[in-house]
Amino acid sequence: MIGYTTIGTNDLERAKAFYDAVLAPLGGRRTLVYERSLYYGSPSRGAMLGVTLPFDRQDATPGNGAMVALSAESPAVVDAVHAAAMAAGGTCEGPPGQRMDNFYGAYFRDLDGNKICIFKMP
């Protein structure tokens, strides 16, 4: 049902380098690129993740309690995405691991403080 969701950035070029590296293990690639935003998706063209400079030209700030959750093919991909985020300068909000019987996940913040979850559910 979700077509796309967006998160803000204060530096689009820096965010582009971060998400190019972090989303590669998911098969994510840039699908749309505009002057003030870029969107990532998979070859199947399902829901997209947008990274954008705020429309009102004010500072981008992460929402308290807001989080984007990205689905992975396997726990190994969860591990790879989290490792890529750490290598690209992200901060750990919860290392990869089994959270519940049916949920394997990891959490990190990007370079602008946006919270991202990567998970695998059966």
| pLDDT at residue number 1 | 62
* Homologous superfamily (CATH) for 4-54+62-120: 2,3-Dihydroxybiphenyl 1,2-Dioxygenase, domain 1 (3.10.180.10)
**Chain segment 46-55, per-residue pLDDT in tens:** 899 999 999 9
Every domain of the chain and the residues it spans: 4-54+62-120
The backbone region for 5, taken as left when phi is positive above 0, alpha when psi lies in -120 to 50, beta otherwise, is beta
Spell out the alpha helix ranges (H) of 10-63: 12-23
**Chain segment 87-115, per-residue pLDDT in tens:** 999 999 999 999 988 999 999 999 999 99
Average pLDDT over residues 10-26: 96
Q: Which residues pair with 49 in a beta bridge?
A: 5, 40
